Amino acid sequence: MPLVSRGSEHMTADVAVIGGGPAGLVAAIALAAAGVDTLIVAPQPQDDQRTTALLAGSVTALSTLGVWQACLPHAAPLTTLRIVDDTRRLLRAPEVSFAAAEIGLDAFGYNIENRHLLAALAAHAAKLKIARVNAATAAIASDAAGVTIEIPEGAARARLAIGADGQRSICRAAAGIGTSRHTYPQTALTLNLAHDRPHHGTATELHTETGPFTLVPLPGRRSSLVCVVEPERAAALAAMRDDELAAEIERRAHSLFGKMSVEPGRGVFPLAVETAHSFARARIALVGEAAHVVPPIGAQGLNLGLRDAATVAELVAEAHRNGGDVGARNVLARYDVQRRADAMSRRIAVDALNRSLLTDFLPVQGLRGLSLLLVDRIGPLRRALMREGVAPAASQPRLMRGEMV
């Protein structure tokens, strides 16, 4: 491989993963474990007090990679999901409960703070001795033989770049890939809290006129909150004193878990839905939010991102084992085809649910209510929906089935 470097350090790898969020680190670990020479280019993570509800397939993938043991002490099992229509509208949906036991699972998945997940992944990447440049790259360019990534030491060369650099991906721009994006008039306020009464492993999603208000279990008598409201309201809530905010959340939660106290750290996330027109082009493959963003409803975002990471690692490892070019056009084309349907179907479902909450159009509210009524009353439909939510039939990469790539 030709080496391009302006400084004293020369770095080459088969694959360079750009971005050290969970999707990038999972891709890097899976590739390194398969013997692919991998380099991570990523700055140190910023504070993120969000949590992620990892569904069963993602937990299986992390277990298979040997990362889950370090996550488990910080994770809470999700055994039941309750959806409650908390709107004051004329047509309201019935309350629906989904129990993991109904589809033969102990739990749908586990909720974990992102900082613990990232720490476990970074420690495992270090244990596998994956080379890491602790900096953001300012530029990336591809040519017929590979990609050149600007790093502080000069430049690194790889056959393939995995763009795991989030919503404002420079990898996506470098590959010339556009997106379709819609911004919602909604912002999510996130924080973690302690409460008097136990949650019993139940995640509760209250559907309000401004979006979902979701409490997801954390270990002990703690939960994470995602509260979706208008942007001005989110700013006002985020500016409240701890005691004021705790009282306001308790009011919105109808005192479900008794008295609440908020933990330090609040996040504010404007909501959007965005999908890349292609998932791979010009020796650059996109994973995670570089490829797709969905609003935080039904815990789909990172679970999709981890399926991207598992799929790209599987295809690249196969090309590597066969002595082929890991960034070849046919590898990228297969990746694009394998991820598109999964990402699009989740986008459509989450977008439709979110819009149905925001609309004042009575027939749409009626349709949402009817759909939930059918789900509540028809057992096989409910169970099919649960299975599809946890493990999509059309997309089960090897890692999600408990096999190495």
Ligand X SMILES: Cc1cc2nc3c(=O)[nH]c(=O)nc-3n(C[C@H](O)[C@H](O)[C@H](O)COP(=O)(O)OP(=O)(O)OC[C@H]3O[C@@H](n4cnc5c(N)ncnc54)[C@H](O)[C@@H]3O)c2cc1C
From 2-10, 38-46, 244-252, 374-382, span contacting ligand X (CB under 6 A): 38-46
CB closer to ligand X, 44 vs 322: 44
CB closer to ligand X, 39 vs 369: 39
11-18 and 154-163 as β-strands: parallel, antiparallel, unpaired?
Answer: parallel
In the complex, what is the shortest distance from the CB of residue 16 to ligand X, in angstroms, rounded to a whole number? 10
Nearest Cα to 395, choosing from 351, 350, 348, 340? Answer: 340
Among 146, 166, 327, 389, binds ligand X (CB under 6 A): 166
| Binding of residue 303 to ligand X (CB under 6 A) | yes
Query: Measured between alpha carbons, how far is 313 from 326 in angstroms, rounded to an integer?
Result: 10
In the complex, what is the shortest distance from the CB of residue 183 to ligand X, in angstroms, rounded to a whole number? 13
In the complex, what is the shortest distance from the CB of residue 132 to ligand X, in angstroms, rounded to a whole number? 11
Alpha carbon of 303 to those of 12, 165, 254, 371: distances in Å?
30, 16, 30, 24
CB closer to ligand X, 53 vs 310: 53
In the complex, what is the shortest distance from the CB of residue 49 to ligand X, in angstroms, rounded to a whole number? 10
Query: Measured between alpha carbons, how far is 402 from 405 in angstroms, rounded to an integer?
Result: 9
Tokens 């440049």 locate to 133
Nearest Cα to 223, choosing from 255, 188, 199, 196? Answer: 199
| Binding of residue 53 to ligand X (CB under 6 A) | yes
The H-assigned helical ranges of 176-299 are: 231-238, 242-252
From 36-44, 71-79, 150-158, 256-264, span contacting ligand X (CB under 6 A): 36-44
Q: Return all residues near 204 (Cβ < 8 A) that are at least 6 apart.
A: 82, 84, 214, 215, 253, 256
| Binding of residue 332 to ligand X (CB under 6 A) | no
Which residues on adjacent β-strands are paired with residue 112?
A: 52, 75
Query: Measured between alpha carbons, how far is 170 from 290 in angstroms, rounded to an integer?
Result: 9
Among 16, 71, 83, 164, binds ligand X (CB under 6 A): 164
Give backbone dihedrals phi and psi of 313, rounded to 5 degrees, phi first: -65, -40
| Binding of residue 305 to ligand X (CB under 6 A) | yes
Which stretch of DSSP H or E encloses residue 285?
Answer: strand 284-286
Q: How many CB atoms lie within 10 A of CB 217?
A: 27
From 12-20, 29-37, 204-212, 365-373, span contacting ligand X (CB under 6 A): 12-20
| Binding of residue 151 to ligand X (CB under 6 A) | no
From 205-213, 240-248, 257-265, 299-307, span contacting ligand X (CB under 6 A): 299-307
Binding residues for ligand X restricted to 168-227, rule: CB under 6 A: 170, 188, 190, 226
Among 11, 14, 15, 22, binds ligand X (CB under 6 A): 22
**Contact 131/13 with Cβ under 8 angstroms?**
yes
| Binding of residue 289 to ligand X (CB under 6 A) | yes
Among 179, 242, 269, 358, binds ligand X (CB under 6 A): 269
Among 45, 219, 231, 265, binds ligand X (CB under 6 A): 45
Please give the residue ranges that form the binding site for ligand X (CB under 6 A). Answer: 18-24, 41-43, 45, 50, 52-53, 136-137, 164-166, 170, 188, 190, 226, 269, 288-289, 296, 299-303, 305
